Amino acid sequence: MSDILTITSEHVSGILTQDAAPAARCGDGDTVIFETRDCYDDAVVSEERPLGDKADPIENPATGPLYVEGAEPGDVLKVEILDIRLRDWGVMRSSTKCGVFHEDFTERTARIFPIRGGADESDAAGAKGAGSAADGGSAAQYIQFDDRLAIPLDPMIGVIGTAPAGCGITTDTPHRHGGNMDCRRIVKGSVLYLPVNTPGGLLSMGDLHALMGDGEVFICGLEIAGRVTVRVSVVKGGAAAMLPTPFLSCRGRVMTIQSAGTLDEAGDKAAKAMKEFVKKAAGKDNLEAGMLMSLLSDMAVCQVVDPLKTVRVEFPLDVLETYGYRLP
């Protein structure tokens, strides 16, 4: 086993709250592994028993929380996603109540998909050790959907957040603290910036998807347990204050991620948050920032199936760097 601080999947909750006792503590800049259950609480293990084997499963269990020493309210927690390792099978289940197509179904049906190719959980757990995690073979992993179709994976984190300000928020809901954003850009190599609302921040995560399309229209991605390696750092002062959290850097683009009761509302919030950020980062006024947004930003739906809908707005980082901005 590695000597990296690891929070096991015994430490899960269905709510992110300031009242939670930390599962672990780490220093500013430390690397931590979160072992996560799947969104069905690892209870659905066969297609014959789609309701699962647990009497009272936690919906969307999130592993944590992690207390980061030195993180104080008003700071921003920088979470670098160093690696995502997956279990060797994923699961999807139909719903009779949620999702765009729920009226198609009168009962719940589960499909289990073995993960093929690449590195699997057995080498993630021991043989190669965490030191080789950065070489993870997810890019070569795929599922065989049926006799004809093989689908490559793009592993992502569905639920990731700090403790919200005020009351706790269940892990089915995205909000300003992050949570169930189901943003398929939260992948290995991404950097997520989350608000610190309580001392230590209290970071939790779970609900990994081996693959999910924008919208998550069926109600689930390819749901899977796994192991996420992150480096956590505390951003303070003016650098923290200008970040419109939840804020993401992924594959050369920065992204605002906003959730609201409707897609219209979420889209407006995400676009306005990015425009305000562009104004500050590039030193532009409303006119030029608005023009740059219309020319260069892309709006995309993260998900339409959670209690609040989530939209992200992406903007090219190199444009901001042209004006001298550097991400903290």
Residues that bind Ca ion (CB under 5 A): 39, 158, 180, 182, 207
Kindly tell me which of 39 and 160 has the beta carbon lying closer to Ca ion.
39
188-to-14, 184, 212, 218, 274 alpha-carbon distances in Å: 24, 11, 15, 24, 23
Q: What are phi and psi of 155, to 5 degrees?
A: -60, 140
Q: At its nearest, how many Å lie between Ca ion and the CB of residue 292?
A: 32
Closest chain position to Ca ion (CB): 158
Kindly tell me which of 240 and 302 has the beta carbon lying closer to Ca ion.
302
**What's the chain's Rg over C-alpha atoms?**
19
Residues paired with 315 in a beta bridge: 254
Kindly tell me which of 208 and 234 has the beta carbon lying closer to Ca ion.
208
Kindly tell me which of 174 and 200 has the beta carbon lying closer to Ca ion.
174
Q: At its nearest, how many Å lie between Ca ion and the CB of residue 62?
A: 10
Whether 194 contacts 79, CB under 8 Å: yes
CA–chain centroid gap for 153, Å, is 16
Kindly tell me which of 216 and 314 has the beta carbon lying closer to Ca ion.
216
Kindly tell me which of 120 and 182 has the beta carbon lying closer to Ca ion.
182
Kindly tell me which of 160 and 282 has the beta carbon lying closer to Ca ion.
160
Q: At its nearest, how many Å lie between Ca ion and the CB of residue 40?
A: 9
Rounded to the nearest 5 degrees, what angle is found at the Cα of 262, between the Cα atoms of 261 and 263? 135
Q: At its nearest, how many Å lie between Ca ion and the CB of residue 117?
A: 22
Q: At its nearest, how many Å lie between Ca ion and the CB of residue 171?
A: 8
Q: At its nearest, how many Å lie between Ca ion and the CB of residue 259?
A: 12
Q: At its nearest, how many Å lie between Ca ion and the CB of residue 147?
A: 26
Kindly tell me which of 180 and 198 has the beta carbon lying closer to Ca ion.
180
Q: At its nearest, how many Å lie between Ca ion and the CB of residue 269?
A: 19
